[in-house]
Chain A
Amino acid sequence: MDAAEIHRRLRDKLGNSVLPEIKENEWPVIGVLPAAIAESCRLLRDDPETAFDCLSNLTAVDRKTDDLIDVYYHLYSYGHRHKVNLKVSCPRLDPALPTVSTIWPIGDWLEREAFDLMGVNFIGHGDLRRLLMPEDWVGHPLRKDFVEPEEYHGISTRRESLLKL
């Protein structure tokens, strides 16, 4: 199924929660409002015509200049071999999205990673802990305004330049 058809089906069911334009790409981008993302994912997975059985990737991108955080969901269907990219923009101050970890189990770790590194809150996740960074780390390192701490547990993060002998 081509992306325009997937888009039309989504808009039929969810109306204006799905943005009208579609960006043609290798992974066609469909914009979705934050509140509707889990519902869109569930519809796309459960509809036998679309059958997106795999969450290939989930990434958050910090767009500091627009004061937004974009979250990308790359969905793939092994049955139909088609793909789509759902994109959600949420406010940078308090990014919160409904979880998709109940739809695809791999969403569990991908969401924990997005929370850990970018500070996106996934409501209903149930176990939203840091995944890669240490538990007591402060801040979300992939944010553009993240300032690297001077030291961590007494270990300095600064080093003299090796070129300066």
Chain B
Amino acid sequence: MSTTSIEIGLERETPAGLETEEMTLNMGPQHPSTHGVLRFVVKADGEIMRRAIPDIGYLHRSIEKISEKVGYHGFMPYTDRVDYVSAMQCNQGWAIACESLAGIEVPRRGEYCRVIACEFGRIASHLISVGATAMDIGAFTPFTHALREREKINDILEELCGARLTFNYMRIGGCAWDIPPGFIKRATAFLDAFEPLIDEYNELISFNKIYTERMGNVAPVSAELAIAWNLVGPNLRGSGVKYDVRKDEPYSVYPEFDFDVPVGEGKMGEVGDCWDRYMVRMDEMKESCKILRQALGGLPEGPVVAKVARTFKPPVGEAYVRVEGSRGDMGWFVVSDGTAFPVRTHIRTGSYSAMAIVEVLSQGLMIADLIAVIASLDIVAPEVDR
């Protein structure tokens, strides 16, 4: 958050004797179409942006510092707030980091419950993303359709853990609660109803002429650029890189499930454009449904949580684990000195690098396209600032 140091001086150029001025515009904090409290300082020449400089920090809640004060178990509810659109994977990232420090084995039923929770979380998050993308560029209806289904997922997750947004479902060593009676039936019924709807969404918006014109060929990111900027998850896969932490660096019980990793193919323009990033999320929802059906069908018996001491004191060491969050590869770095409080926690999130790349992507775009770019990168502001 550094307002004053971004030079606000005007550059004057005189091509062909005409004097033009570079405009400096403020977009945000809190532009209706941006996702959370975002701010961009836009340097524009008419409608064309020279660049948009992201200014972050408005949602910095010092979550990393809090971890040093509350201990390992106590930090779990705070991880929900790192990315509140998709809190389950944050829970899982923290849990796996602590388990990796202490060498704890999670019971298989616990792992399955985690996968079920996370995949429902992923669908819910992608629904927000694709719905909001459409809304940001002017189509309101898809958002209401997406939220309708998200509410049903919230109901399912509420059955699981009693909360609809910030779940605090997982524990170091497993999950807080086993699935309630009748859960599998209701969850399967939801999937039966939801899967055909994805095709309906595609008919409604994905292949709509106006929409594809608006999203195709806008701000393409090459695979090299995406990797150098550490873009992760759907943003990376949109650029054609077939990489998913669940597949390539497997954790939990993901190797037991059969699913594909959709990548951007440039169907509506260049590979890695806004439409590709959007479409990867659409396709990923189908894959999540696939995983969910397998997990719900093969749920093993047994406990959901391992025995972990109430005062959790992992041995001295450090762990860096990555989980595939809804916004991609999420890195959890923890350093322990053998006491009940971590020395340092660092969370490297998907939106962070997505936000950083905006300054490069925005060069030469129309101001209106900035909204499409932010939406297609699925930036969630609290995750950037933590």
Contact = CB atoms under 8 A, between A and B. Distances in A.
A131 B344 contact: no
Contact of B321 (A26, A105, A109, A129): A26
A148 B248 CA distance: 42
Interface of B: 1-5, 56-57, 60, 62, 64-65, 100, 224, 227-230, 241, 243, 248-249, 317-322, 329, 331, 333, 335, 343-344, 346, 348, 352-353, 356, 360, 385-386
Interface of A: 25-27, 29, 53-57, 59, 61-63, 72, 74, 78, 81, 85, 104-106, 108-110, 117, 129-135, 141-142
Contacts of A63: 343
A57 B322 CA distance: 11
B93 to A, nearest CB: 13
Contacts of B344: 59, 61-62, 142
A126 to B, nearest CB: 13
Given A105-B360, A109-B356, A133 B57 contact: yes
- Grouping DSSP codes into helix (H, G, I), strand (E, B) and loop, the B interface class, with mixed when no group exceeds half, is mixed
Contacts of B230: 54-56, 104, 106
25 contacts: A25-B317, A26-B321, A27-B320, A53-B224, A56-B348, A57-B320, A59-B333, A72-B320, A72-B333, A78-B227, A104-B230, A105-B228, A105-B356, A106-B228, A106-B356, A130-B1, A131-B1, A131-B2, A132-B56, A134-B1, A134-B57, A135-B3, A135-B5, A141-B65, A142-B65
A27 B4 CA distance: 40
A71 B319 CA distance: 14
A56 B132 CA distance: 28
A161 to B, nearest CB: 15
A72 to B, nearest CB: 7
A132 B60 contact: yes
A134 B317 CA distance: 32
B65 A57 contact: no
A133 to B, nearest CB: 7
A26 B1 CA distance: 35
Contacts of A54: 227-228, 230
